[in-house]
Amino acid sequence: MSFFYARRSRRPSRAALLGSAGALALASLLTTAPPAQAAPPTPVNATTARTYLGQLTVRAEGSSSGYSRDRFPHWITQSGSCNTREVVLKRDGRNVVQNASCAAVSGTWYSEFDGATWTAASDVDIDHIVPLAEAWRSGASSWTTARRQSFANDLTGPQLIAVTDNVNQAKGDKDPAEWLPPRTAYRCVYVRMWVQVKHTYGMSVDTAEKSALQSVLGGC
């Protein structure tokens, strides 16, 4: 057995076989997102996002008084036995298999927020890019329940995405002045998504939030 391991230890590394240029290419592949990953609808580009941001009303964040997640009926039935969560899990995953109740029983999910890959749906949350509580404080408190339901289950815009559960929980209801995805390569996409959603639903931004959005968009 020791002889076997000794022989393995003398094998040339993959980097040595590839050469320095090949090693760099390999390293790049290993640190980027998997190819052909399904994703939320592509958000507007940075130029359009900057225009949209300039059109948003700037005002102090409203009160959380009266807020409840129940005010935003979510994970509603989309078709058959499939609710919004299961639709997003299927859309954002790879090789996802669902049972007769539409629950994802296998598949692979790459979390754009932190670069982690998961093979159990229980490790994945569906994030509202603009959190429900943030929406409430930014104008949704005056919406009808039907509009809040549409917002919380929006599959047409870049509002829902499958991500690592504890990263989503760390985000909570924070805006971009308080939290951005730990994977910096995704921050430009994230703020474009945020601005588009707020623009679509006519929500406001506070001063610190707008400044943070401008800062990230300025580097996109």
Return the pLDDT at 37.
Answer: 58
Residues 125-138, mean pLDDT to the nearest whole number: 98
Q: Is 88 helix (H, G, I), strand (E, B) or coil?
A: helix
Q: Which two tokens stand for residue 57?
A: 């009303």
148 and 77 in contact (C-beta within 8 Å)? no
Alpha-carbon distance 107 to 88, whole Å?
13
Q: Is the pTM of this model over 0.85?
A: no
**Has residue 11 got a pLDDT over 50?**
no
Residues 46-53, mean pLDDT to the nearest whole number: 98
Residue type, 218: G
Q: How many CB atoms lie within 10 A of CB 190?
A: 21
Q: pLDDT-derived band of residue 4, with 50, 70 and 90 as boundaries?
A: very low
Alpha-carbon distance 71 to 142, whole Å?
11
Return the pLDDT at 39.
Answer: 84
Q: Is 74 helix (H, G, I), strand (E, B) or coil?
A: coil
Q: Which has the minimum average pLDDT: 35-39, 61-65, 77-81, 192-196? A: 35-39
Angle between helices 46-55 and 187-200 in degrees, nearest 10: 40
Residues 76-91, mean pLDDT to the nearest whole number: 97
**Has residue 16 got a pLDDT over 90?**
no
